[in-house]
Structure 1
Amino acid sequence: MTQANPVAPTPFGRLVGRRDGDLNVFRGVRYAQPPVGPRRFSKPEPLPRSDETLDAGADGPTPPQLPSRLEIAMGPSAGNPGEDCLSLTIWTPADLGTEKVPVLVWFHGGAFMSGAGSLPWYAGAALARAGRIVVVSVNSRLGALGYLRLSGVSDGNLGLHDQRASLRWVQQCIDGFGGDPANVCIAGQSAGAFAVLALAVMAEGRSLFRRAILQSGPFGLEPEPLARAEERGRIFADALDVRPDAESMRRVPVDALLTSARTVAQRFSRGPGDSTPPFVPCLDGDLLLAPLLASTAAGAASWCEMIVGYTREECSVFSAIDPAFKAMTREQLHAVLGAEFGAKADALMAEYTALRGYRNAGALHADAASDRRFIAPALALARHQAQAGRAAFVYQFNWPSPTTDFGACHCIELPFLFGDRVAWAQAPMFRGASDADYHHIGGAMRGYWTHFVRAGDPNAGGLLAWPRYVEPDRQTITLDRYIAPMSDPAGRCWRTLLAQN
């Protein structure tokens, strides 16, 4: 007997999805008007109300982008790029009836310039099934289309505006899919985690969600000062060889926007291994008023329960991207560290060398960059939350790639969390993963994550106890073949050298 397609009512139309076993799935769900033509470089505009019936059986376009820098670890991504990309994918249990369940909203990573929530990598089916929750994955603008700041053209942070608009849509519409708008958790990895924290420190955040999961957030790379963002914008317009006005910039072909971003990246590069993207969020005086960790230290996100975590070797994969990394001399390393750490560069090199010993300068820089950009700031965020009396749970992901030298690199936890082995079959970092590791680690992660989504505490369902993060013990759950809580597993020399957050 053929099952009827599921229908979800919203103020913007009746959406007809598809049945996938015990789930209903809705794809290509618009949450704002298409940012094309005169809306290019403009903030997202709400959808008009409608009683039209709309098909939600196919993915919408993915945001325009160049190939990801991390294909070396994650493998190639497939998509159908187009500027009309402001859409959602929604997974919901098919048997809810009138029941309303918690909601998890996912923001993908990709350095603000690649990725899409609609990619198979981020399929929410396993999470929806594991926790009996609604999962929403978001597409938003990337690169220059999402983060260019140029007076008279774009105010910047449009990707963040898109993400906020998606949460407003969730508040308006998710009850039609069986979700509880009063019990929303937002989660993201890498640039997606940066967006999660940016949304958490906004005044509007507490009306849009209750709790947050932040995976491998690059919180050591703060939002850019406005003047520097404007400088990037001017260099970008020069590279395009067009007048820096809205009308001219809206006529530029998308491919030209993408390729000219490389000029900006090269101009602002700090040397071998620099992973800073060409366009990043800026302190625009609207969405972002202050550096993120300064805001959390002042209690701006103290209302929000959090899971915060990182992988043990975050930056190892970035060193593999750039051949100059392995050939880096100690003199080059000193110059790169000096640009990032200032007067602490000499002490940093000495301390890291004494602590571990390194086969080359690039390996030292990869560890120092992991600590500075990801690990130390993540623990600073957890400390801020704990000091404010708010629950924070910290994890360190330790499972190493079996067939590469990436170790526990950036992004390596994602195949376990999302649980779709086929989607990650082409990922070199995941190649050789045993079924036992895949099911054990992935099952535990989905259990912890979905319990947290539901109640603000990952502890339930027979899982190993995950203690709250409290100074000075810094209790952290380590996720690997053996899952265990540890006291301060990331403790190392940066605790004194980089005590600046």
Structure 2
Amino acid sequence: MTTRQNIGTHIFYTPFGKILALKENGVIKAKSIRYARSERYKMPVALESVESYEIADKTPVCPQHITPLLERLIGKTDIEKFQPDESPQFLTITRSEKFNENEKLPVVVWIHGGSYEIGCGDLPTSDPTFWVKEQNIIIVSISYRLGLFGFLGGDENRLPNLGLFDIIESLKWVKKNIQSFGGNKENITLLGQSSGGDAIAHLMISEGVENFFQRAIIQSAPLGFRLKRSRMSLEFFRKTELLKDETDPLKMTESYAGFLPSFRKYGLKTSMPFCTQYGYPPLCKEEESLPKWKENAKKYDVLIGLNNDETAFYVKTAKEGLYTYLHEKILNKIVRKTTESIYEKPANIFAQNYKEGGGNIYQFKIHSKLKNNYIGASHCVDLPLIFENESAWKNSELLKDVPWNHIQENGGKLRALWAEFARSGKISDDSERPEILELRKV
């Protein structure tokens, strides 16, 4: 079936059932496939098969509170295109239309960021079309429970780490079904940015993930926020008890923000109120985490890194408060100190510990090479490089002083390196590097 817009359909026959996909812009997309279901605060239940599958008009998302800061950073969200769903366990598979039936393509599973609080796998700003066509890989974009629904718990009635369990269910689904889409189930790389990268690091030490993936690309994970959170999490858990039976999930997401100012006593980590919780399944105790990563180091190839000026957008573009009146040199010092404490030093500790465990690990850093770019290489600047979609990013304040051809030139080279790592777990010294990238094997 073909229309004047050159949009067609394709059917995949899988162990899960018959799945209808769209053919457009040189790729085939099987959108919003439900991989599990869940009730509020309960474990996800895998779907074993589907009798009939139709392409949804709207993208399902976990109920969430979109902030003005996020809309300045990324761009305005067209909420009419999304459907809130308290059971948001969906995934989308993107593959090139050009495909040799004898091929088994490397698979990259995209785990979105958003402080475990906002976002979904299927956003225009993370459209993998360019990358899939360029590098002939398959990308699976997953959605999972967030915020109160997925990353805050403390007892048997409100379980912690449910979002992590959702991700594990999605990986089981991929392992079982991806061959039907042309993917190699023995060559799966997890790619995550921000809290998505943090989730991947914790999946590496989670129970019940054996052989679900072989590699990990961890971008801008705020590993500095992972420690000494238990008191804050417990207080947040208790204060939100009165919201747990609210029938309207959107009211829940609007209400919890009122408690956040009272957590300022816990320092910078207050800016990320939701997180994985140690000491509850599928995770170990906090003090066991570094030894666990060392113990598991030979299981996964890892590429981990950050942007040089991670916190610059938040610090330098604040519209009100103290930062507005500070001299640029002071602001630069704040950016450097916070970037080091939240991202850089924890990534260095992670990498060194992993190397000591005998692991294959690379480290990277993305810099800004543009003279007039006030905020430099801030948090999220890696996203348009990986997911090149000019129409989605054109209104982002993050890229205000960045020419699009700069994103295109550096992004193409970065995507090639990341795809090389996904294929083999290695990056050759002879492979071309973008000028903005610092990369080394640990």
Contact 1:401 1:429 in 2 (8 A): no
Unaligned segments of structure 1, at least 5 residues: 241-248, 330-356, 466-478, 489-501
Contact 2:151 2:275 in 1 (8 A): yes
1:290 is aligned to: 285
- CA deviation after TM superposition for structure 1 residue 364, in Å: 2.9
Note the 1:234-245 alignment, pairs <5 A: 234-238=238-242, 240=243
- CA deviation after TM superposition for structure 1 residue 167, in Å: 0.5
Deviates more, 1:271-280 or 1:363-372: 271-280
2:323 is aligned to: 326
State the structure with more CA Rg. Answer: 1
- The verdict on how the C-alpha distance between 1:195 and 1:487 changes in structure 2, with shifts beyond 3 A counting, is closer
Among 79, 86, 100, the residue aligned to 1:96? 100
Among 253, 265, 269, the residue aligned to 2:248? 253
Note the 1:161-240 alignment, pairs <5 A: 161-222=165-226, 226=230, 228-238=232-242, 240=243
- CA deviation after TM superposition for structure 1 residue 111, in Å: 0.6
- CA deviation after TM superposition for structure 1 residue 386, in Å: 2.1
1:471 is aligned to: none
Q: Secondary structure in 1 aligned to 2:110?
A: strand
1: distance between equivalents of 2:55 and 2:113? 24
Q: Aligned pair count? A: 431
1:56 matched to 2:52: no
Q: Secondary structure in 2 aligned to 1:220?
A: helix
CA RMSD of aligned residues (A): 2.8
Unaligned segments of structure 2, at least 5 residues: none
1: distance between equivalents of 2:8 and 2:397? 40
1:262 is aligned to: 257
2: distance between equivalents of 1:486 and 1:138? 29
2:413 is aligned to: 444
2: distance between equivalents of 1:448 and 1:178? 22
Counterpart code for 2:329: R
2:299 is aligned to: 303
- CA deviation after TM superposition for structure 1 residue 369, in Å: 1.3
2:155 is aligned to: 151
Of all paired residues, the percent bearing the same amino acid is: 24
- CA deviation after TM superposition for structure 1 residue 192, in Å: 0.2
1:343-367 Cα deviation digits (max 9, x unpaired): xxxxxxxxxxxxxx9733x543332
Among 345, 352, 377, the residue aligned to 2:346? 377
Counterpart code for 2:188: V
- The verdict on how the C-alpha distance between 1:302 and 1:266 changes in structure 2, with shifts beyond 3 A counting, is farther
1:410 is aligned to: 379
Scaled by the length of structure 1, the TM-score of the pair is: 0.79
Contact 1:59 1:89 in 2 (8 A): no
1:278 is aligned to: 273
- The verdict on how the C-alpha distance between 1:441 and 1:316 changes in structure 2, with shifts beyond 3 A counting, is same
1:317 matched to 2:293: no
- CA deviation after TM superposition for structure 1 residue 216, in Å: 0.3
Scaled by the length of structure 2, the TM-score of the pair is: 0.89
Contact 1:399 1:480 in 2 (8 A): no
Contact 1:308 1:394 in 2 (8 A): yes
2: distance between equivalents of 1:121 and 1:450? 19
- The verdict on how the C-alpha distance between 1:30 and 1:325 changes in structure 2, with shifts beyond 3 A counting, is farther
- The verdict on how the C-alpha distance between 1:307 and 1:231 changes in structure 2, with shifts beyond 3 A counting, is same
